[in-house]
C-alpha cells in the first residue's frame, strides 16, 4: 500500500507515477479523506481527554449533588460525541483505505512506460543454445506417449486440468527436485513447506485482494487456495521487526498453485500453458531498502540458471509500466522458446515490490541507526514446473514419439535418458 505521508507531501509526483500505470486517480478525494481522518483523530483525542478529566473530577465533587449531576451530564454528552466522531473517523478511514488498497505500486524510474507488452524491452537472449524452429506441440507429444491425459482430468475436475502418467509424471518430479536442489544448495535459499490455504488477510497483504478476487479460488468465507507461494512466504514475517544483520532472508518453496484464470478466458485453452492447478517453485527475498534492486538482479539470475542448466533457449524481458503485476515496481519476465508456437512464453516473473507489500503486511527492519523501516520484498518463480516441462517436451523431441531427457535431469531420473513409447 502507498504511504499517505508521501502522497500528501509529493502529490504531483504520485499523480505522475499513477499516470505511468495508466491509472486515473482523484487526488483531491484522497487528500480530503486524509485530512478528515486526521481531523477526526485529533477531535477524538480531545474529546477523550475532556471525558477523562471530567470523569476524574466526579469523586471529588460527589457530595455536591447538583454539581456532580452537571458533570455527569457533560460526560454523557461527550461520550455521545465520541461515538459520533468514531463513526465519522471509521467511515473516512475505510474509504481512504479502500482507495489506496486498489492502487498499484509506483513503477521504478528505469522501466519502459507503455500500456501493454508491446512496450516491453528484451534485455537478454541466450545465444549459445540452438533454437528448434519446428516441432510438435507438447500436448500432441504427450498424447502420443500416452502419458498426458486431459480427457480424464476433465471428467474428474473440469477443463484446464491435466493428469501426467508414468515417465512424464516422473520427469515432472525430477524437475521439482532439480530446481529445489539448485536454489537451496547453490543459491542459498531456505526451503519452506507452506499451507496451500490462506486467509484473506494474507492475500490482501501481497496484493491479490481486493482487486483480483475473480482470479482466485475461494473455499469458504475466509479461506482461499493460494495462487502462488509468494503469498505464504511473504506473510511468514507478518507484524515482525527484523534485524538488519539477519538480512537478506531468502525462501524457496514448491507448491501447487490455483488460479481461476478469469481474466484469461479463451486464451491457451489447449495444453498445459494455462491450467487452474499447477506446480511452481517460488523464490522470495526480504532485504533492506538499499539492497533491493541488486537483489532483483540476483533473483533473476537464480531463476535463469534453471533454464541454462536445462539448456533451453530463453530470453529476459523488462516489463513496461502497464504490463507489470499490481504489486511490482520493476519486473523481469523470463521466457522460454516454444518451437510449436514459434515464440517465447513466460516461465517466470521476477519482481521487486519495494516496500509496497511490507506496508500492507507490516514487516519492518531495524537498521544500524536503530531506525525502523519497512522491508523490501521480492518474488519470482524459480520456475513454473509445468511450463518448464512443456519447454522440454518441445525443445527435446527427437521424433513424434521420443523425448530426450536434459543431461542435468538424468540423475533425477535414475539414469533414464529418454522417454519413448
Phi, psi of 339 (to 5 degrees): -55, -40
CATH topology of domain 4-102: Helix Hairpins (1.10.287)
Provide the H-helix boundaries in 102-165: 138-145, 150-157
Q: How far apart are CA 246 and CA 172, in angstroms?
A: 35
pLDDT in tens, 162-190: 999 999 999 999 999 999 999 999 999 99
Long-range CB contact pairs, 13-22, < 8 A, 24+: 14/106, 17/106, 17/107, 18/103, 18/104, 18/106, 20/106, 20/107, 20/113, 20/321, 21/104, 21/106, 21/107, 21/321, 21/322, 22/115, 22/321, 22/322
Residues 6+ apart with CB under 8 A from 31: 7, 8, 11
CATH of 117-420, one of 3.30.930.10, 3.10.105.10, 3.40.50.20, 3.40.50.150: 3.30.930.10
Q: How far apart are CA 250 and CA 213, in angstroms?
A: 28
Q: What single DSSP character describes residue 301?
A: H
Dihedral sign for Cα 287, 290, 291, 296, please.
positive
367, burial (CB in 10 Å: exposed 0-12, middle 13-18, buried 19+): middle
pLDDT of residue 305: 98
- How would you label 152-161 residue by residue, b for 16+ Cβ within 10 Å and e otherwise? ebeeeeeebb
- How would you label 66-89 residue by residue, b for 16+ Cβ within 10 Å and e otherwise? eebeebeeebeebeebbeebeebb
User: Chunked in runs of 10, what are the mean pLDDT values of the chain (421 residues)?
Assistant: 95 98 97 97 95 82 74 89 96 97 97 97 91 92 96 96 97 98 98 97 96 93 95 98 96 97 72 96 98 98 98 98 97 97 97 98 95 97 97 96 97 97 82
Show the 3-state SS of 46-91: HHHHHHHHHHHHCHHHCCCHHHHHHHHHHHHHHHHHHHHHHHHHHH
pLDDT in tens, 246-284: 999 999 999 999 999 866 666 777 899 999 999 999 999
Q: What single DSSP character describes residue 190?
A: E
pLDDT in tens, 69-119: 888 888 899 999 999 999 999 999 999 999 999 999 999 999 999 999 999
Q: Give the Å distances, CA to CA, from 354 to 8, 73, 252, 373, 392.
A: 20, 52, 19, 12, 34
> Residue 254 has which C-alpha cell?
514448491
Domains of the chain: which residue ranges? 4-102, 117-420
Does the pTM exceed 0.85?
A: yes
Coil, strand or helix at 230: helix
**Pairing mode, if any, of strands 376-384 and 197-198?**
unpaired
pLDDT of residue 266: 67
Q: What single DSSP character describes residue 322?
A: T
Query: What proportions of the chain, in percent to the nearest 5, are helix, strand and coil?
Result: 45, 20, 30
pLDDT of residue 265: 66
**CA-atom Rg of the chain in angstroms:** 27
Residues 6+ apart with CB under 8 A from 407: 311
pLDDT of residue 55: 82
19 strand-pairing partners: none
Q: How far apart are CA 394 and CA 218, in angstroms?
A: 34
Amino acid at each position: 500500500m502507498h504511504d499517505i505521508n508521501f502522497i500528501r507531501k509529493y502529490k504531483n509526483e504520485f499523480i505522475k507515477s499513477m499516470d505511468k500505470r495508466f491509472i486515473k486517480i482523484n487526488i483531491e478525494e484522497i487528500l480530503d479523506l486524509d485530512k478528515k481522518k486526521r481531523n477526526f483523530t485529533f477531535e477524538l483525542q480531545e474529546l477523550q481527554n475532556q471525558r477523562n478529566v471530567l470523569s476524574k473530577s466526579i469523586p471529588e465533587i460527589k457530595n455536591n449533588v447538583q454539581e456532580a449531576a452537571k458533570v455527569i451530564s457533560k460526560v454523557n454528552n461527550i461520550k455521545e460525541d465520541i461515538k459520533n466522531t468514531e463513526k465519522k473517523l471509521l467511515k473516512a478511514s475505510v474509504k481512504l483505505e479502500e482507495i489506496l488498497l486498489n492502487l498499484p505500486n509506483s513503477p521504478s524510474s528505469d522501466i519502459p512506460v507503455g500500456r501493454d507488452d508491446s512496450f516491453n524491452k528484451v534485455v537478454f537472449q541466450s545465444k549459445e543454445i540452438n533454437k528448434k524452429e519446428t516441432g510438435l506441440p507438447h500436448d500432441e507429444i504427450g498424447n502420443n506417449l500416452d502419458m498426458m491425459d486431459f480427457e480424464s482430468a476433465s471428467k474428474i475436475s473440469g477443463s484446464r486440468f491435466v493428469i501426467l502418467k508414468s515417465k512424464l509424471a516422473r520427469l515432472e518430479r525430477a524437475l521439482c527436485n532439480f530446481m529445489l536442489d539448485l536454489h537451496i544448495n547453490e543459491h542459498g535459499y531456505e526451503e519452506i513447506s507452506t499451507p496451500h490455504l490462506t486467509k484473506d488477510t494474507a492475500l490482501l497483504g501481497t496484493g491479490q485482494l481486493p482487486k483480483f478476487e475473480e482470479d482466485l479460488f475461494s473455499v469458504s468465507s475466509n479461506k482461499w487456495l493460494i495462487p502462488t507461494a509468494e503469498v505464504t512466504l511473504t506473510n511468514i514475517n507478518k507484524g515482525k521487526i527484523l534485524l538488519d544483520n539477519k538480512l537478506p532472508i531468502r525462501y524457496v518453496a514448491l507448491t501447487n498453485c490455483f488460479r481461476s484464470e478469469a481474466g484469461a478466458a479463451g486464451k491457451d485453452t489447449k495444453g498445459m500453458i494455462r491450467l487452474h492447478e499447477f506446480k511452481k517453485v517460488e523464490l522470495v527475498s526480504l532485504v533492506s531498502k538499499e539492497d533491493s534492486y541488486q537483489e532483483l538482479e540476483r533473483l533473476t539470475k537464480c531463476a535463469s540458471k534453471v533454464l541454462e542448466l536445462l539448456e533451453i533457449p530463453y530470453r529476459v524481458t523488462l516489463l513496461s509500466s502497464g504490463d507489470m503485476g499490481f504489486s511490482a515496481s520493476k519486473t523481469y519476465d523470463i521466457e522460454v522458446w516454444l518451437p510449436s508456437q514459434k515464440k517465447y512464453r513466460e516461465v517466470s516473473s521476477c519482481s521487486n515490490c519495494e516496500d509496497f507489500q511490507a506496508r500492507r503486511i507490516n514487516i519492518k527492519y531495524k537498521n544500524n541507526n536503530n531506525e525502523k523501516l519497512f522491508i523490501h520484498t521480492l518474488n519470482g518463480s524459480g520456475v513454473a514446473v509445468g511450463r518448464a516441462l512443456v519447454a522440454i517436451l518441445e525443445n527435446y523431441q527427437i521424433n513424434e514419439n521420443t523425448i530426450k531427457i536434459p543431461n542435468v535431469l538424468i540423475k533425477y531420473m535414475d539414469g533414464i535418458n529418454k522417454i519413448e513409447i
